[in-house]
Chain A
Amino acid sequence: MRKSQKRRYVPFLKISYKVRGGSFSRLYKLIKSERLHADNVCEQNSEITANIPFYSCKRFERICAECGCESERLEDGDIVKAVKWVLHRPALFIGLMMVLLLIMYLKNIVIRFDIKNENEKIRSDIMNVLKEENITVGSYIPDIVLVDAERALKQRVEGISWAGITRKGNSLIIDVIENIPAEKGSYSRFPSHLIATENATVEKVMLLDGQLKTVIGSGVRKGDIIISGIVETNKSKWVDGKEEVESKVRYTRSMGTVEGTFERTVVFEQNFDDTVKKQTGNVYSQKYLRLFSADIPLFFKSKTGSFYTDEEVNNARVFGKVLPFGIRTLTLTEYDRKPIRYSKEQALDKCREKSSKYEENFLSEYKIKNKTESIKYTDKCVRLEITYSLYGNICEEAAFFIKK
């Protein structure tokens, strides 16, 4: 007979026993009374073979001893064998346990945030709020109260009306609905005045609709009505030697342009003692292993100091498809704040730089007719006061409601 035919099949979690000697009928009785799940029981040549579940082995051996039988283990089931094999190799066992624990741990920590919104500002706001709520990459998911986090997002992130967080594996998926801007009321059919925005002298008027309340060459104060939307017309006729005046009021939306000259005084100041950012020339590079949203540092000590940062992310690719892991490189250019002392001329130049920036940013829509400078030096700073004489539009639309 071949060896394979002789081999007795032992199920995974069972152990095969051979029992000899003693009272078999008593053994059967005890197996029943102890509720042992014995399988493949066969009596042959004054021996009993049986498969007993591994967790009942001790009880079976005790029963055999009670019946005066001698029990012998023949073979273990495959799982029992595997467990014994692993237990005899402690390093492997510990490694397996560690891997299992690591898997369990990784299954329960946040690895990735998936924000379903393309707006960069909203995305960064959401991440900041979550950070304030102690929800970051590596947070233990069962400890996160998603309802509280959702409430915090709804309350603190500007520009969203609703937020929902769902967990999918070890990712947190954040759905947001942006605010739907309310449709702006159209005032085009409302009557309106054109009012002065500056204390100015009116030099040019182009009236399309409305009633002019001033004349060219006269001065207006800020807020004065230049073109009124209330148009009054008087019609007089003589009836029986008496004048009858018929007046009509019409409301309209004033239209036109009013240009004039006005003055604006701006003061620019520069301290003699100041601090400036100066690059030290040191450039460092820090690399991170990016795994979904997690950045795992590939260095031991992070740099301290003040840096200009430049980020570069290189994700792995397979057949042109970007995978969710890669290397993030931060290039840190170190700078230092250094005290500097300006001379009077240098400080004045700084003031002029500021004034030119101001003109560029705020006075580009006006024509600068004239500017007068007055320079004052104190112990600490230089003060440049410039009075601009500007020419340009001096009115804006102001709607009004008709009293009924």
Chain B
Amino acid sequence: MMNIKNTTLGFVGKVKDLAYLGSYVTITDNRSVLVENCRQICECSDIMAKVGAGDYIVEIWGKGLKLSDYTQDSVMIDGIIDSVKLISKSFRERRDGI
């Protein structure tokens, strides 16, 4: 049986919320994705952009993707968005499929 754990209910989840350490992703239609609390840009090609935000890596797939406004701790990905995928950085979570 899959062990589903809601992190926002726990102590760590509350602390993350208060300390603004989570991954905040705002999607506007299929035109742009704003990723806040972005720590790292892994890749940004025409069809795929991969950025690290909080405990997750945000993978954006689409067409004609362009990365802009990369200042402070946020980044805007413009283009035609097909999908947005969150990949946990934690090995345990990836292994357990949570």
Identify whether the interface residues of B are mostly helix, strand, loop, or mixed. strand
A48 to B70, CA, bound (A): 15
* Cβ of A41 under 8 Å from chain B: yes
Indicate which residue in A25, A35, A36, A37 contacts B41 across the interface (CB closer than 8 Å).
A25
B45, closest chain A residue (CB): A43
* Cβ of B46 under 8 Å from chain A: yes
What are the residues of chain A within 8 A of B71 when measuring CB–CB? Answer: 35, 37
Contact in complex: B45, A39 (CB < 8 Å): no
- A–B complex contacts, Cβ < 8 Å, 20 sampled: A25-B40, A25-B41, A28-B40, A28-B41, A28-B42, A28-B70, A29-B40, A35-B71, A36-B70, A37-B71, A38-B67, A38-B70, A39-B68, A41-B44, A41-B68, A42-B46, A42-B66, A43-B43, A43-B44, A43-B45
Q: Interface residue tally of chain A, by bracket?
A: 10 to 19
A41, closest chain B residue (CB): B67
A43 to B41, CA, bound (A): 11
What are the residues of chain A within 8 A of B69 when measuring CB–CB? Answer: 37, 39
Q: How many A-B residue pairs have CB under 8 A?
A: 46
A sample of 11 more A-B contacts (CB under 8 A), given A31-B70, A40-B67, A40-B68, is A24-B43, A25-B41, A28-B42, A29-B40, A37-B69, A39-B66, A41-B68, A42-B44, A42-B67, A43-B43, A43-B46
A36 to B72, CA, bound (A): 10
Indicate which residue in A32, A36, A44 contacts B45 across the interface (CB closer than 8 Å).
A44
Indicate which residue in B43, B46, B65, B70 contacts A32 across the interface (CB closer than 8 Å).
B70
A28 to B12, CA, bound (A): 29
The total of chain B residues at the interface (CB under 8 A) is 15
A398 to B72, CA, bound (A): 96
A50, closest chain B residue (CB): B67
Q: Please list the residues of chain B having a beta carbon within 8 angstroms of any beta carbon in chain A.
A: 40-46, 65-72
A43 to B45, CA, bound (A): 4
A3 to B65, CA, bound (A): 21
What are the residues of chain A within 8 A of B41 when measuring CB–CB? Answer: 25, 28, 32, 41
Contact in complex: A41, B46 (CB < 8 Å): no
Contact in complex: B42, A40 (CB < 8 Å): no
Contact in complex: A41, B43 (CB < 8 Å): no
A44 to B72, CA, bound (A): 25
What are the residues of chain B within 8 A of A25 when measuring CB–CB? Answer: 40-42
CB distance from B77 to the nearest CB of A (A): 9
Contact in complex: A40, B66 (CB < 8 Å): yes
A42 to B46, CA, bound (A): 6
CB distance from A20 to the nearest CB of B (A): 14
Residue of A38, A43, A48 ringed by the most chain B CB atoms within 10 A = A43
CB distance from B48 to the nearest CB of A (A): 9
Interface positions of A from 24 to 69, Cβ below 8 Å from B: 24-25, 28-29, 31-32, 35-44, 48
CB distance from B87 to the nearest CB of A (A): 16
